Structure 1
Amino acid sequence: MAGGRGVRVKRIQLGNTVFEGANDVYLLDGEATALVDTGVALPAVREELVDGLAEHGLSFRDVDAIALTHWHPDHAGLAGEIQAAGGAEVYVHEADAALVDGTETPLFADRDLQRETFERWGMPDADRERLSGFFDAVSADLSGRPADVTTVSDGDAIRAGGVGLEVLHLPGHTAGLSGFAFDPRTVPGHDPVAGDDATEEAFTGDALLPKYTPNVGGADVRVEGALAAYAESLARIVARDFDAAHPGHRRRIDDPSRRAAAILDHHRHRTRRVIEVLDGSGPATAWEVSAALFGSLEEIHVLHGPGEAFSHLDHLAAAGVVERDGTAYRLVDPDPDVGALFPTTPLDDLVDGSEGA
């Protein structure tokens, strides 16, 4: 970018004891000031963000734009308050917009949707109440105030904090999860991981995480064919061959293509494991398959475990490998070509599914 005072891309790491661990908020501070994600609307986290901005001589009212990777409260919770302070424009993918502007109610606040979802998964009554109680205990203030949003879609170009961002729709974890690709050569003051050879980096939200595999199936129950959608998103990340990915949690990912390929292979392995469970036990519900895969679960994982199991069972049902009978799934083909159920990438022979765990 010619002229101006140059752009900084700075990570502000915030506490998070409810979801995937420490959240990353990215500050883009050049001709204007922008954030990628905001953190959850809890007082302690809010103060951490206030302090993080203050270290750069900034406050909420200085933020001109917010690019949200997805609707989850630990990424979008403070967007409405920041917007109210200074009029920031809030960008979010059209598929997640209603959960940020408050016109749609998320699962954790909708008892009817909870009942429908938990019945579909075959979750026992006691565990439904336990999970609903967890939601009640932690969710009252997570989402913060609604924000007026500007919707974006795949391929859109936006400018935030003096940085040109390309919207990259990466559904699966949520319906509208989007990354934001940028050319680090246009960002004076940014230190590209690959030095002068770097041509493209991306903010990936929870589409790509350095330690855990992003939850699929429980994280956003609105997503149809969640595992298939996420597999295609991972293949897309591999194909883009980013020099670095800046995720929604924890540290920068310096080989995002390999990480994406490893997570994709992890899901191939998990699919084989689901088939083994059904082959050994006979027809089973998503809840029962989750128990076989993950054992006893606590807190948010009571949602994520059966949701993940359901996404795999749903994927297998779409391929005709299993059949659904009520809430149970019966194995039809005990020896399918699992590899054919997922997209292939040039890195498939170089990764081990255990890297995705």
Structure 2
Amino acid sequence: MYHIQLTNAAFEGRNSVYLLGADDAGAPTTLVDTGIATPDVDAELRDALADHGVAFADVDAVLLTHWHHDHAGLAGAIQAESDATVYVHEADAPMIRQADGAMAEMADTQREYLDDWGMPADKQRELLDFMDGHDGLRGQDADVTEVADGETVPLGPYEAEVVHLPGHAAGLVAYVVERDGRREAFVGDAVLPKYTPNVGGADVRVERPLQQYLDSLERVESLDLDRAWPGHRGPIFASSERARDIAAHHDERTERVRRVVAEQGPVSAWEVSAELFGSLSTIHILHGPGEAYAHLDHLVREGDLERTDNGYVVA
């Protein structure tokens, strides 16, 4: 297995792409994720694959952990040259096909949330300008083979179990394998070694995003992995502990959100975001209030807060 790191200036740092099967006779040459669709990253990936004797045309399968452009952007380009099978969870399949108005529907939902979160007009314009300027990062569409939780798919010389871990994205999955006597998984952005994956803004299709993500963290812990290969940075050797740390972080953030509402309510998600993250720019204009909303929504559903016409207040 080869770990390839690709430039990603638009989002959360260098992306991880994994190449399997290149050195295994008879095994399908497989990529887990692809990187973002820019000419520079396309060239980077081609050069990195060439170092291992692989061209786009040689790729037999692409396993996508989720639909985000920095993970799936080059899937269509690879498939166009290789006719590779592109696997993705059924919840994210419309986003990769770019069919049936999925992208337009996502954009409409995002715009509705920007108003709902109380985002000022100037910040909305800044965010929408950024997103319009980076629309090409999603790359070209691809035909996909849908997968679901509990299924198995070929992953290089291995068989991988699909484990659905929604929260950061509706269709985020891990691919779990037994490799060299270790239990390992390619986990995308379900857990990351440094950052905490955004919840609430990264995929506005997810209902009850914080609760779903906390449930997914419990599932990561239960997988009892020896090593996790995330979508950014290096491997995680204590993924169960990392999942617990991220869950504890969200517990602390929930308490902080509760205090902000108690001290300042009624408040909007945008106002809570300002207390949590300060001034925001680029994609974080979406992620900040989205994360605040995820916690506010969770507290409302738990009965701790109420949402009024003027904003969130203590119940």
For the aligned pair, the TM-score class normalised by the smaller chain equals over 0.9
Judge conservation of contact 1:10–1:27 (CA < 8 Å) in 2.
yes
2:118 corresponds to 1:118:
no
Matches of 1:107 and 1:223 in 2, distance apart? 16
* 1:44 Cα deviation from its structure 2 partner: 0.4
Counterpart mapping for 1:189-204 below 5 A: 198-204=181-187
Sequence identity, in percent? 53
* 1:327 Cα deviation from its structure 2 partner: 6.4
* 1:106 Cα deviation from its structure 2 partner: 3.5
Judge conservation of contact 1:108–1:132 (CA < 8 Å) in 2.
no
**Unaligned regions of 5+ residues in structure 1, if any?**
1-8, 186-197, 333-357
2:141 corresponds to 1:149:
no
Moved more, 173-182 or 118-127: 118-127
Counterpart mapping for 1:27-106 below 5 A: 27-29=19-21, 30=24, 31-103=27-99, 104-106=101-103
Judge conservation of contact 1:64–1:161 (CA < 8 Å) in 2.
no
Matches of 1:71 and 1:327 in 2, distance apart? 35
Judge conservation of contact 1:227–1:312 (CA < 8 Å) in 2.
yes
Which residue, out of 148, 158, 162, partners 2:157? 162
Which residue, out of 169, 173, 176, partners 2:168? 173
Which residue, out of 276, 281, 303, partners 1:293? 276
Which residue, out of 6, 16, 37, partners 1:24? 16
Judge conservation of contact 1:245–1:253 (CA < 8 Å) in 2.
yes
Amino acid of the residue matched to residue 154 of structure 1?
A: D
Matches of 1:175 and 1:182 in 2, distance apart? 22
**Unaligned regions of 5+ residues in structure 2, if any?**
none
* 1:161 Cα deviation from its structure 2 partner: 1.8
Amino acid of the residue matched to residue 150 of structure 1?
A: T
Matches of 1:117 and 1:88 in 2, distance apart? 36
Deviations 1:187-246 (A, max 9, x none): xxxxxxxxxxx5311000000100100000000000000000000000111111100000
* 1:109 Cα deviation from its structure 2 partner: 7.5
Matches of 2:190 and 2:287 in 1, distance apart? 15
* 1:160 Cα deviation from its structure 2 partner: 2.4
* 1:286 Cα deviation from its structure 2 partner: 0.4
Moved more, 220-229 or 160-169: 160-169
Residue of structure 2 in register with 1:281 after alignment: 264
Moved more, 264-273 or 112-121: 112-121
* 1:279 Cα deviation from its structure 2 partner: 0.9
